[in-house]
Structure 1
Amino acid sequence: MANPRWCLAVLLALVATLLVAPGASARADRGAQPRKAPRTTRVVVITLDGFGTYALRRLGPDRAPVLHRMLDRGAGTLDARTEREMTATLPNHTGMVTGRRIEADHGGHGVFWNDERLEPATVQEAAGHRVASMFSVVRADGGRPALFTSKPKLSLLDRSWPQGIARFVLEPNNDTLARMTRRDLRHRGRALTMLHLSWPDGAGHEHGFSSKAYLEACEHADQLVGTVLRTIRSKRSLRRHTAVVVTADHGGRGDGHDDPTKLANYRIPFVAWGAGVADGADLYDLNPDYRDPDHRRTRYQAARQPVRNGDVANVVVRLLGLDPVPGSRFGRDAALDLR
């Protein structure tokens, strides 16, 4: 005859299985669902002065492995565009941080010069009215943006948004500047960090934008981008919540980059990687409202615009969950989607 206690134990176990199994199954089903992507709380923008698509293709994956790996594992294009009016450093960097074109009469930021002049002293003076930037938007949300630059002319940005840029560093040596940026990333919880690397442009002006020295400077810039990415990957809080955006102010070929009608001057890379960014996607595939321009410069009046370096401002604030930069044009209504 069976032991009554044993029979009771079996019966209770069976009842428990029937009661618990549905919940366990539901938990298993929930566990099988894809995890929600980590929220982007930090954005790093890296601008490569004078590093156009022409140079990146010349170097290839062997000599510029970091940028090519970002293209493979992030969202990007080699067919982005500069400001249409000028292919120069200061006007294009001003466009990146404001989301505006250059010509003030058409809603632009008004910075048409590319030197260290002090008049106009600010972007607001150049435009003739108040001009917002990604720095001011992030700072208004409680962030403390930093700008690390290697050219004195970019001090214009610090003068224009002194309350928006919590830390401004001017250091001509790109290696030192990158180290300072990485140290700041490790120890400061900034929502926005911008790093400007100038050596490709310097080598291009000194030796020519098709020279061996220029391509070596571009190769070195790729390596410095790699050091920033390694710093981000080395810390879990950075790795899970940081997005990186890399683009250029202009390209170049031969003896300069001043002619805005030359393809090598206005065609640039634009690539994003990290939190909130698709894995291995072309930006034009992700954004049907944009149009791959092929070899065209594309007028601002065109219904479908190319990806431009001026999209940076609203890419940054959108990644951080903030409203578009007031008065901006690029990516304001049809925001550039990264996933």
Structure 2
Amino acid sequence: MEYTQLGRTGLKVSRLVLGTMNFGPQTDEADSHAIMDAALDAGINFFDTANAYGWGENKGWTERIIGNWFAKGGDRRDKVVLATKVYANMALDAQPGRPAWPNHDKLSALNIRRAVDASLKRLQTDHIDLYQFHHIDRNTPFEEIWQAIDTLVQQGKILYVGSSNFPGYKIAQANETAARRGGTMGLVSEQCLYNLAERRAEMEVIPAARDYGLGVIPWSPLHGGLLGGILKKEVEGGRRASGRAADTLKNPTARAQVQAYEDLVDKHGLEPGEVALAWLLTRPGVTGPIVGPRTAEQLESAVRAVELELSEELLAGLDEVFPGPGPAPEAFAW
């Protein structure tokens, strides 16, 4: 496994991030524990979760699975750079169709304090290494957010702070506010949707992250399975597309694009999913993509991508198939 600094920090993290969103809903606790053990064995030290994972009435389920894994000992907690998130409504009686209980979601100082303590309890740990804002909160000023964060850092409950799904201007607002306050590191990472098929982050999010020293952590690196050889799997009678991938493939132009991608990768004798991950590792500013394996075999495939070197010919071909929008403002102006 290769390691890199997380943005402008001194923190060393693996170039693959273990995503845990499937733990609970898709992967039972025993298999989830086995995958985390295998990740450590492969040298992956960066684990990502969120307080809402488990979803609905099971929100918090994933953090509890991770906490039970930490409780097994064996220096598991010490070896892991642990990242979780805050934003979703975690009130126990918050159900679809009912009004959400106030002050149990988003980024108010009250909810941040409450959410951190609840995550620490579920995770069975005394601190969170990277605490991430899962979404922007248009109603809470960054002065309030950083005041809450500063207190938690002083208490030793969190070490670093990151964002997720932030537009470029919010990254700038957050870190300019932190700079004015003084004594606050501000955001050190941005977790965004970024992959070969979805490159809009290159317009403003990634440039903002790089200018402010944030490590970029792409989520959905295979775009919901679209870049994992989905058409070949359909022909072979394997897993069919679902969710975002299925919706995309309904468009004939997009389907032809995915077919061109699979043909290009096949020409080079490589696996589509591994190429998609390896491509992200070549992108400026990227710390490492989040991989969310449901099985140990999927984890092994992701690890192989770290050692994969893409030729200049293949990289040029990928840009032809998925050209991306280009940087702002040239993407939409002269």
Length-normalised TM-score, structure 1: 0.30
Higher relative contact order (CA 8 A, sep 6+): 1
Bigger Rg over Cα:
1
Q: TM-score, normalised by structure 2?
A: 0.30
